[in-house]
Chains A and B, each alone.
Chain A
Amino acid sequence: MQLQEHRRELEATGAEIVALTFEAPEHARSYLEETGWPWPMLMDRDRRVYRAYGLIQGSTWSVLGPHLWPGYVKLMFSKAARVKKPHDDVYQLGGNFVIDGNGRIVLAHRSRNPLDRPPVEALVKALADA
């Protein structure tokens, strides 16, 4: 999921868009420079916020299982490929949440594996309706 490619649609919703990472600041800064991520990125080194939102570490099967290999190969050959040696915990899973203007969760997506993200269209709709 390359959210930057949908920047206009996402920003048209009037939403604040932020990324969170648990990696070291130098790796986060490098990521921002290399990807051109246009929105704020927050550092959650001890993963306190990840835990508060129920984001867990996946099992070996859910992260490295052969059912994911075709997806990883496709990703490696995509224009968005940034294949590097991981700096940190490869088992930590991500997720996406949409919060409305009253502080209520209107979309909660906890990734079941590293390739599992909601469609951008679902995010845009949730933000527009929030």
Chain B
Amino acid sequence: MNAEKEVILIGELAVREKVLLRMSLESFCI
């Protein structure tokens, strides 16, 4: 991930499983 970005806004709607996306993002950020 680009370390310069401190805040990332991700807008999504009805994109399958939001929970899955969140979990993926969380695992990516650890």
Say whether A associates with B. Answer: no
